[in-house]
């Protein structure tokens, strides 16, 4: 398969890099000129508990982009979706599958409007990874997983072929029939984690150690589960049990949104917290907890835009 990866940061660099390392697909990274120069000079560098790797990779900038790709792996932040669409537009033709690995759900409709429903897959990434200042893709901790599939539930040749490309890469990649349900399930976990850790400016262990913290987190998770259920995608009991276990047993767990906020970076307030808030309100659910977290995140965005952040 010919696979174009938008970006060579934490997510794109890792999942595209493992394919390049295994040689199971023809992978090219679509990057800015500075990152291309770095990749051309140093290769792609991955530091990971699953094994480090440095190797040459193909990279290009948008001015060299032409159609002819089987899959475009879209790894932009949700707030950069419009510019990402314009960046990959020259690559997408009738044969191309666009696989977004963005947080939330609202990007699916935007991508379908841009490229047509048949071109867009559903997908999600399970990874903690970042691009360090030295250009190294740093995978912080297990797991490193991908799920993807057709939004109509079909197990198509193209999703099976992509899963086969990942078979010998060490990435836990699966083609699944109910990708929409899997995306909702991730949103339940991520939305709860983001709402809790951003609002409290603390990791899960610190929140649970506070008086009433454990019960508050459990209520927040239950409310997120109710939102998904009201939208016809209730998470499976075993998935909920896993989420509760992670939130209870991993004291350091926190949302990447908290890391971005503490670094003074942009955050995906509308695409995660705002989406859940709207979905819950439409279902008639009491959204007081999520509303408070969303207002907190939007107030941060306003302070950041006005240049009033400390430091």
Predicted confidence (pLDDT) per residue in 14-28, tens digit = 999 999 999 999 999
Share of the chain above pLDDT 70, in %: 100
Per-residue model confidence as pLDDT tens digits over 94-142: 899 999 999 999 999 999 999 999 999 999 999 989 999 999 999 998 9
**Which pTM was predicted?**
0.94
Q: Would you tell me how many other CB atoms lie within 10 Å of the CB of residue 232?
A: 9
Whether 299 has a pLDDT exceeding 80, the answer reads: yes
pLDDT per position as a tens digit, 142-190 = 999 999 999 999 999 999 999 999 999 999 999 999 999 999 999 999 9
Q: 2-177 has which fold?
A: Rossmann fold (3.40.50)
Rounded to whole angstroms, the Cα distance separating 102 from 240 reads: 21
Is the CA virtual torsion 147, 149, 154, 156 positive or negative?
negative
Q: How many residues does the chain have?
A: 311
80-100 burial, b for 16+ CB within 10 Å, e for fewer?
ebeebbebbeebbeeebbbbb
What are 32-53's pLDDT values in tens digits? 999 999 999 999 999 999 999 9
Give the pLDDT score at 310: 85
What's the rounded Cα separation, in Å, for the pair 143 and 151? 24
Number of H helices, E strands in the chain: 12, 10
| pLDDT, position 176 | 97
Average pLDDT over residues 214-235: 96
Rounded average pLDDT over 47-63: 97
**CATH of segment(s) 182-305:** 1.10.1040.10
The CATH 3.40.50.720 portion of the chain extends over 2-177
Residue 80 predicted with pLDDT over 80: yes
- CATH 1.10.1040.10 positions along the chain are 182-305
């Amino acid at each position: 398969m010919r696979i174009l990866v938008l970006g060579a940061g934490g997510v794109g660099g890792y999942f595209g890099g493992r394919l390049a390392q295994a040689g199971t697909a023809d992978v090219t990274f679509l990057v800015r000129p500075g990152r291309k120069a770095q990749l051309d000079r140093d290769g792609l560098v991955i530091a990971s508990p699953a094994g480090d790797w440095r190797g040459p990779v193909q990279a290009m900038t948008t001015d060299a982009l032409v159609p002819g790709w089987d899959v475009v792996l879209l790894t932009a932040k949700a707030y950069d979706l419009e510019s990402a669409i314009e960046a990959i537009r020259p690559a997408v033709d009738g044969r191309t599958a666009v696989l977004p690995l963005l947080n939330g759900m609202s990007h699916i409709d935007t991508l379908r409007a841009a490229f047509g429903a048949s071109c867009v897959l559903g997908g999600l990434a399970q990874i903690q990874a970042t691009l360090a200042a030295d250009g190294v893709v740093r995978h912080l901790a297990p797991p490193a997983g991908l799920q993807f599939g057709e939004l109509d539930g079909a197990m198509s040749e193209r999703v099976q072929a992509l899963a086969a490309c990942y078979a010998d890469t060490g990435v836990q990649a699966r083609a699944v029939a109910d990708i929409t349900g899997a995306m909702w399930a991730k949103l339940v976990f991520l939305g709860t984690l983001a709402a809790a850790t951003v609002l409290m400016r603390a990791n899960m262990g610190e929140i649970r150690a506070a008086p009433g913290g454990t019960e508050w987190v459990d209520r927040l998770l239950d409310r997120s589960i109710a939102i998904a259920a009201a939208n016809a995608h209730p998470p499976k009991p075993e998935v909920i049990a896993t989420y509760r276990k992670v939130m209870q047993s991993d004291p350091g767990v926190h949302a990447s949104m908290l890391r971005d906020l503490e670094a003074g970076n942009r955050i995906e307030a509308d695409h995660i917290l705002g989406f859940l808030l709207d979905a819950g309100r439409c279902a008639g659910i009491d959204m007081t907890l999520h509303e408070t977290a969303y207002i907190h995140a939007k107030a941060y965005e306003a302070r950041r835009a006005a240049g009033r952040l400390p430091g």
